[in-house]
Amino acid sequence: MNGLTVGGLTRRQALGRGGRLLVAAAGAQAGATWVGSATSSANSPGASWRVLARSLQGPLLRPGDAGFRAASAAENDLYASVVPAGIALCEGPRDVQACVRWARDNGVPLVARSGGHSFGGYSRTTGLQVDLRRMKSAIVDRDAGTLRVSGTVRFADLDRVLKPYNLFIPAGQCPSVAVNGFTLGGGFGFYSRAHGLAGDQLKRTDVVLASGQKVTADPSRHSDLFWACRGGGGGNFGINTSMTFSLFPVGDVSVCTCVWSSKPEDVLNEFQQLFKHFPDTFSLIVRITPATGSSPMTVTALGHYFGPSRELRDILSPVLSLAPASQQEFLDLSFWKARDYLADTNGPPHSYVERSRYVAGPMSSAGIATLLDQTRRWPGAGATAGRLDFWLWGGAMIKPSPRSTAFVHRSARSLFAVGATWPAAMATRRARPLINWVNDTWAAVGPHATPYAYQNFIDPALRDWKRAYYGANLSRLSRVKRAYDPDDLFNFAQSIPT
């Protein structure tokens, strides 16, 4: 057994604070909430925060405290004005238990915060942010072929820990996304067609429940909770303090980028036909990027293959011979260099929206024509960006039955997502045409796709989200919710209903 603990935030003394604080919630969660109190009697909220601070090993930060701004910074600036009344920088599961008990006893809303990448801003709250970033650790058991992560372990951390072993899990490509939020919603990446979802590789997890009790869930203990933690979505059943995964060995791979700036319709239709013939060892994103300024609309294929680049070229040859790419690159790389090559880094602070729909088979040529028509209507300019992505689904992701875990989307051929990004400094009002374009594109694609959406691309604008994320598994998820969180402590706009 070999262990490594990585990083942590600066420790500081906990400070309880009285005083009245108005927190205005913005973005999709407009409204205003009063938290805190000017009084200092034993039962006042101000005094309660001091009680919480005393019960924690890690610091409790309140607005105005040193470190609060950094700890409350939003990953998606759209939700930056949802500011917590307190942030508990937990040192370990006991701190998480203390937070849950205190929030329940004091009627203060709480959320777990790991990587902070919830598309809906659901790891932000005007109440208590139970922050797992200080308690991160990742331990490899080489003999058992397992990895145990505790607290917030981001994919950038995971690469550092696992590289010496040449072992990995079905992780994603964004270095700052964290393992726990990712896994709870299923979790797919370039390795999932070969090795399944992150949730499929989960062997056991420790969860702090609404009662404050910590339990271990695996196939034989709290098996219904274990089932729900594999695709039931983050923030619903408790706070997962650790997760143990099976690892797979990695070696050399190949990657490619091919860009087409002409014949987008032919290229996209050909890809749709090929999707079901591609080997499970190959993964792909096909991205349509709208024209901006003097740059034309492009179609880009970003691929990863567990095999040599000469085979990867063969796999893509039907599209390349139909329409020559304006740029193409095929590389043989180590698995780890390939991760760097494919990394989806975030860049400077920005705001974004993203909406998804699963597509069952090849999208019809009418559907592709609709998408291209929408792409031509992109209203952005300057530092804004729009994108329409097809993620190749299938392979090991659709082998388990839809009922075997909470993750129901086991028959799709691709996952479509449309998104827009704009600089943090740009007012949301000015981004409205971009948001409208995302909504219009998402609506236009409806007749050519399924009603299902990916729960990890959680979408505050989605009306029928319960069915879209969970389909036939919703009623069992509600039963698990009633059993483990009967008072709905873990509640947010799209939490599983009791």
Ligand X SMILES: Cc1cc2nc3c(=O)[nH]c(=O)nc-3n(C[C@H](O)[C@H](O)[C@H](O)COP(=O)(O)OP(=O)(O)OC[C@H]3O[C@@H](n4cnc5c(N)ncnc54)[C@H](O)[C@@H]3O)c2cc1C
* Residue 187 within binding range of ligand X, rule CB under 6 A: yes
Structural Rg of the chain based on CA atoms: 23
Minimum CB distance to ligand X smaller for 188 or for 422: 188
Residue 374 zone, left/alpha/beta (φ > 0; ψ -120 to 50; rest): alpha
Binding track over 224-243 against ligand X, x by CB under 6 A: ----------xx---xx---
Our finding on whether 414 is near ligand X (CB under 6 A) is: no
Instruction: Work out whether 357 is an interface residue with ligand X (CB under 6 A).
Output: no
Answer for which of 123, 137, 269, 298 binds ligand X (CB under 6 A) is 123
Applying CB under 6 A, which of residues 56, 61, 78, 112 lies at the interface with ligand X?
A: 112
% helix, strand, coil for the chain, step of 5: 35, 25, 40
- Residue 102 or 492 having the CB closest to ligand X: 492
Q: How far is the CB of 101 from ligand X (least distance, A)?
A: 16
Region binding ligand X by CB under 6 A among candidate stretches 63-71, 116-124, 244-252, 364-372: 116-124
Compute the half-sphere exposure of residue 104: CA atoms within 13 Å on the CB side of its CA. Answer: 19
Is there binding between residue 86 and ligand X (CB under 6 A)?
Answer: no
Task: Point out which span in 102-110, 173-181, 271-279, 392-400 binds ligand X (CB under 6 A).
Answer: 173-181
| Residue 182 binds ligand X, judged by CB under 6 A | yes
**65 vs 354 by CB, closer to ligand X:** 354
Can you say whether the dihedral through the CA atoms of 335, 7, 4, 238 is positive or negative? Answer: negative
If 0-12 CB within 10 Å is exposed, 13-18 middle and 19+ buried, where does residue 108 land? buried
* Helices and strands in the chain: count of H runs, count of E runs: 14, 21
Number of neighbours of residue 43 by Cβ within 10 angstroms: 9
Binding string, residues 314-353; x marks residues near ligand X by CB under 6 A = ------------------------------x-x-------
Contact present, 65 and 89 (Cβ < 8 Å): no
Cβ neighbours of residue 126 under 8 Å, at least 6 residues apart? 23, 25, 33, 35, 82, 83, 84, 85, 109
| 395: contact with ligand X by CB under 6 A | no
Name which position in 48, 81, 114, 244 contacts ligand X (CB under 6 A). 114
Structure tokens that stand for 418 in this block: 């449309």
10 Å CB burial of residue 205 (0-12, 13-18, 19+) is buried
Q: Which stretch binds ligand X (CB under 6 A): 35-43, 107-115, 444-452, 467-475?
A: 107-115
Biggest CA pair distance of the chain:
77
- 129 belongs to the binding site for ligand X (CB under 6 A): no
Under the criterion CB under 6 A, does residue 115 sit at the interface with ligand X? yes
For residue 254, state whether it binds ligand X (rule: CB under 6 A): no
Residue 117 sits in the site that holds ligand X (CB under 6 A): yes
Angle of helix 365-376 relative to helix 264-274, nearest 10 degrees?
Answer: 140
Size of the site for ligand X (CB under 6 A): 32
Per CB under 6 A, residues contacting ligand X are 111-119, 122-123, 132, 172-174, 177-178, 180-182, 184-185, 187-189, 234-235, 239-240, 344, 346, 456
